[in-house]
Structure 1
Amino acid sequence: MSAGLDPRLLARAREVVADTTGFRDDAIAQDAVERVLRAELARGRVPTEVLSELQQLGSPLAYTLVRAVLVGETYFFRQPEHFRYITQEGIPSALRHGAMHLRGWSAGCATGEEAYSLAACLLACAPAGMPVEVVGTDLHEASLEAARRGTYGAWSRRESAPALHPVYELLNGRQVSILPEVRKVTRFAPANLLAPLPERFGLFDFILCRNVLTYFSPSARDAAIVHLARSLAPGGLLFLGTVEVDRAPPGLTREGPPELQAFRKPRPEERTFAQLPVAQPVATPRMTPTPRRLSAPPPALPAPPPSPPPSPARLHLQALERIEEGNVAGATAVLELLVKQAPDYLPGLLELALLRERAGARDAAFPLMRALRTRAGQLPPDALVDGPEALPARFYLASADAYLNLGALE
């Protein structure tokens, strides 16, 4: 089908899609890319003109390509085992630990069926009067518009997925409409999983990101999972698709059977006790008294050597503790000291850049991300970088590229 298309044009179009979505090259639908390019050429444009526009990541053509390749397969209560686990284990655990509200995020929500299903699940199990909120995000604005309308046909309500909780009402013979109480607690917003979710969205008790990362390259998948984990509240649960990861993401623990693909973020007290060193008994020597005698005073002891400065990883942990406490100014001060003392410590560069991004200081975040990309690019891709989480250099390179490319799109 690619006959007649300039190979350079086709290659650049696929690069644009990969840079924006994180998709692996073999997950990018060739026919969708070619349809877009042929439509542009059919309008009378020459290949060099189209190629020139594709050099600009924020161009209308770039968005058209991304929309063409995004996968939007979803329906109500897909993978019902996740909703059952939330009902039977997740919500009771949150309530036992004093939850004052229940919040969920449907990441890569497409046309919204998953977000509304999660909202219905939380509403059905929350105590009377407890606030419930669900956020659905997607890269495709047209899908979000469909989600906000909240009107669906038979394709969205399969017999293979049982209606576990009330979520819609019959609108006419063929369509259904989301119940007002479910619609009221659900909102939708554009977001890219390759970038951290803005801080204004807060933290979530339950995150569903299922059958989305399947299409991502390994480095893009790793970056997205770190961003998802950062948005979990302590004790929160992240649900992934069946074959998307083969081990617990860094900083999370597996919940339930492996096929459930559910992962929990430990609460602070759990991490504290897990990290406490075990005290070892110390033998106390017996002291033998010696006769007192007059003598010259002992020579002064030399001053102890100055304590070494805290390691970069220790400073990073101090900053993370301040972030958890809500002390953003304190965390920023620690990270600024860390970056000054250890400019090659990649986790510090990334943490400070993300903190500044969340504070709205994007101009201050960009130089840090550029430095991160330069330093990460000098390391072997699979070299593990020391930090609170041992992550490969390719993760930091992908994070920087995703952030800088996303900035170019905005």
Structure 2
Amino acid sequence: MSAELDPRLLTRAREVVSSITGFRDDAIASEAMERVVRQELARGRSSADILGEMLFPQSPLSGTLVRAALVGETYFFRQPEHFRYISQAGVPAALRKGALALRGWSAGCATGEEAYSLAAALLASVPHGFPVEVLGTDLHEASLETARRASYGTWSRRESAPRLFPLYLDAPERQVTILPVVRRITTFAQGNLLAPLPERFGRFDFILCRNVLTYFSPAAREQAISLLTRALNPGGFLFLGAVEADRVPPGMVREGPPELQTFRMLAPGELTTPAPAPRPVERSEPPAPLFRKPKATPVPVVPARVTPPPPPSRLHLEALERIEEGDVEGAAAVLESLVRQAPDYLPGLLELALLRERTGAREAAVPLMRALRVRAERLAPDHLVDGPEALPARFYQASADAYLNQGALE
């Protein structure tokens, strides 16, 4: 049995991580903090010595704690609807306004897949030779070193995220390397979302900060979004994750449907107009699902009387197909059946909750998010949950917490 730890050590460790990253206390994995503290004790250090070092945010131990808490889940062209919007709407709008160059920022880029994806999307959408630059920033220097190597394995390539634009070449041992033309325009630097980006980096036309703010406290999330918007050029676009903003940031307008979570910075003299109301349920364009349906996966028709109920993942794929076809009511019915059949299938709970929210039924979404949080808390934070894409349990807990915390603030 493990020896009892001084509770002050774990409490202070979580305070250190929260102060540096902006993470909510309940989004910081206790197991990760305990692992680091026990490693320090095993080296012969005293509790007083460890507590003393944790008083300094720039100390090596504080850096180790932050690295242990960070979530590095990322892959190429994650949330492909954002990259499609950049290519089909964002870049043409910037070119029509006479932009002489385009600059993008992947804020919280982890190991760099998002930054390279953004660079590829911009390159493929501008005339040949048009100047493009992309910056990727992250707190974790080791992740940035991986990004600079520009070599990735199969985990960075998912069926749920199509290869939208030329990005990499195949390499030995199932590795891929980023195309030289994409690599040349992409740079990486250490940065904290709670601090202003140094002026030397300039301003940007496209900023992606997705699935990071989910873990932030409400105050830290507001601070980070404010700093992100200050780094935008007039007319620039900010892209956030599914549950990371419950209102339009000041000085911006919403672009596209609410589920796209895309905002445009108003130009000087442009009238501030209220964000358009969410489209009614009977719209022809369905709400974007949380997960994307893998294209080549058929959903066979299984006679209910002959075989057992289909597995949760198959029902989930059927719901995604219905959403893409515009059959929102049918998708909701399938997801409701899925939740009844498999109440511990976290991706189904989150998908149904977000579908309810997007169609204006918040009162039905809240209990689903509460159930999601309870079930996610039963799992180890780093436990990978099967679904259309494998995500750690902490992602589902943080998503539920972020949604419920937003509701409490309204």
TM range (shorter): 0.5 to 0.7
Task: Tell me how far apart the structure 2 counterparts of residues 211 and 2 of structure 1 sit (CA, whole Å).
Answer: 34
**2:401 maps to which residue?**
none
**2:114 maps to which residue?**
114
> Identity over the aligned pairs, expressed in percent?
71
**1:6 maps to which residue?**
6
**2:253 maps to which residue?**
253
Matched residues, number: 274
**1:265 maps to which residue?**
265
For 1:261, the aligned partner's letter is Q
**1:88 maps to which residue?**
88
Task: Tell me how far apart the structure 1 counterparts of residues 146 and 73 of structure 2 sit (CA, whole Å).
Answer: 13
**1:190 maps to which residue?**
190
| 1:165 match: secondary structure | coil
**2:327 maps to which residue?**
none
| 2:269 match: secondary structure | helix
**2:41 maps to which residue?**
41
Cα deviation digits, residues 47-87 of structure 1 (max 9, x gap): 11111111112111000000111000000000000000001
Cα deviation digits, residues 168-221 of structure 1 (max 9, x gap): 000114100000000000000000000110111111000000000000001100
For 1:22, the aligned partner's letter is G
Post-superposition offset of 1:2: 8.2
For 2:112, the aligned partner's letter is G
Task: Tell me how far apart the structure 1 counterparts of residues 64 and 9 of structure 2 sit (CA, whole Å).
Answer: 15
Post-superposition offset of 1:268: 1.0
**1:312 maps to which residue?**
none
**1:354 maps to which residue?**
none
For 2:110, the aligned partner's letter is A
Deviates more, 1:180-189 or 1:47-56: 47-56
**2:27 maps to which residue?**
27
Alignment of 1:139-150 (within 5 A): 139-150=139-150
Give the aligned CA root-mean-square deviation in angstroms: 1.4
Alignment of 1:63-74 (within 5 A): 63-74=63-74
**1:124 maps to which residue?**
124
Q: Is the CA contact (8 Å cut-off) linking 1:242 and 1:260 kept in structure 2? A: yes
For 2:82, the aligned partner's letter is H
Q: Is the CA contact (8 Å cut-off) linking 1:204 and 1:236 kept in structure 2? A: yes
| 2:105 match: secondary structure | strand
Task: Tell me how far apart the structure 2 counterparts of residues 56 and 266 of structure 1 sit (CA, whole Å).
Answer: 40
For 1:154, the aligned partner's letter is T
Task: Tell me how far apart the structure 1 counterparts of residues 161 and 37 of structure 2 sit (CA, whole Å).
Answer: 37
Question: In the alignment, does 2:162 pair up with 1:162?
Answer: yes
Cα deviation digits, residues 93-149 of structure 1 (max 9, x gap): 000000101110000000000000000000001112210000000000000000000
- Give the TM-score normalised by the residue count of structure 2: 0.65
Task: Tell me how far apart the structure 1 counterparts of residues 2 and 157 of structure 2 sit (CA, whole Å).
Answer: 37
**1:319 maps to which residue?**
none
For 1:89, the aligned partner's letter is A
- Give the TM-score normalised by the residue count of structure 1: 0.65
**2:223 maps to which residue?**
223
| 1:194 match: secondary structure | coil
Higher relative contact order (CA 8 A, sep 6+): 1
Task: Tell me how far apart the structure 2 counterparts of residues 260 and 100 of structure 1 sit (CA, whole Å).
Answer: 27
| 2:270 match: secondary structure | helix
**1:102 maps to which residue?**
102
Post-superposition offset of 1:269: 3.0
Q: Is the CA contact (8 Å cut-off) linking 1:136 and 1:187 kept in structure 2? A: yes
Alignment of 1:188-337 (within 5 A): 188-271=188-271
| 2:194 match: secondary structure | coil
Task: Tell me how far apart the structure 1 counterparts of residues 46 and 136 of structure 2 sit (CA, whole Å).
Answer: 39
**2:400 maps to which residue?**
none
**1:402 maps to which residue?**
none
Cα deviation digits, residues 375-405 of structure 1 (max 9, x gap): xxxxxxxxxxxxxxxxxxxxxxxxxxxxxxx
Task: Tell me how far apart the structure 1 counterparts of residues 174 and 128 of structure 2 sit (CA, whole Å).
Answer: 33
| 1:38 match: secondary structure | helix
For 2:253, the aligned partner's letter is T
| 2:44 match: secondary structure | coil
Task: Tell me how far apart the structure 1 counterparts of residues 244 and 109 of structure 2 sit (CA, whole Å).
Answer: 17
Post-superposition offset of 1:247: 1.2
Distance change >3 Å, CA 121–CA 269, structure 1 → 2: same
Task: Tell me how far apart the structure 1 counterparts of residues 162 and 170 of structure 2 sit (CA, whole Å).
Answer: 16
| 1:163 match: secondary structure | coil
**1:135 maps to which residue?**
135
Task: Tell me how far apart the structure 1 counterparts of residues 43 and 36 of structure 2 sit (CA, whole Å).
Answer: 11
Cα deviation digits, residues 34-55 of structure 1 (max 9, x gap): 0000000001111111111111
Task: Tell me how far apart the structure 2 counterparts of residues 128 and 26 of structure 1 sit (CA, whole Å).
Answer: 48
**2:51 maps to which residue?**
51
Task: Tell me how far apart the structure 2 counterparts of residues 254 and 107 of structure 1 sit (CA, whole Å).
Answer: 20
For 1:180, the aligned partner's letter is P
**1:298 maps to which residue?**
none
**2:75 maps to which residue?**
75
| 2:12 match: secondary structure | helix
| 1:270 match: secondary structure | coil
Structure 2: any 5+ residue segments left out of the alignment? Answer: 274-410
Post-superposition offset of 1:3: 5.7
| 2:248 match: secondary structure | coil
Task: Tell me how far apart the structure 1 counterparts of residues 242 and 8 of structure 2 sit (CA, whole Å).
Answer: 36
Post-superposition offset of 1:262: 0.0
For 1:164, the aligned partner's letter is L
For 1:236, the aligned partner's letter is G
Q: Is the CA contact (8 Å cut-off) linking 1:123 and 1:132 kept in structure 2? A: yes
Task: Tell me how far apart the structure 1 counterparts of residues 22 and 263 of structure 2 sit (CA, whole Å).
Answer: 22
Q: Is the CA contact (8 Å cut-off) linking 1:110 and 1:143 kept in structure 2? A: yes
Distance change >3 Å, CA 3–CA 14, structure 1 → 2: farther
Cα deviation digits, residues 4-24 of structure 1 (max 9, x gap): 110111111111000000000
**1:356 maps to which residue?**
none
| 1:16 match: secondary structure | helix
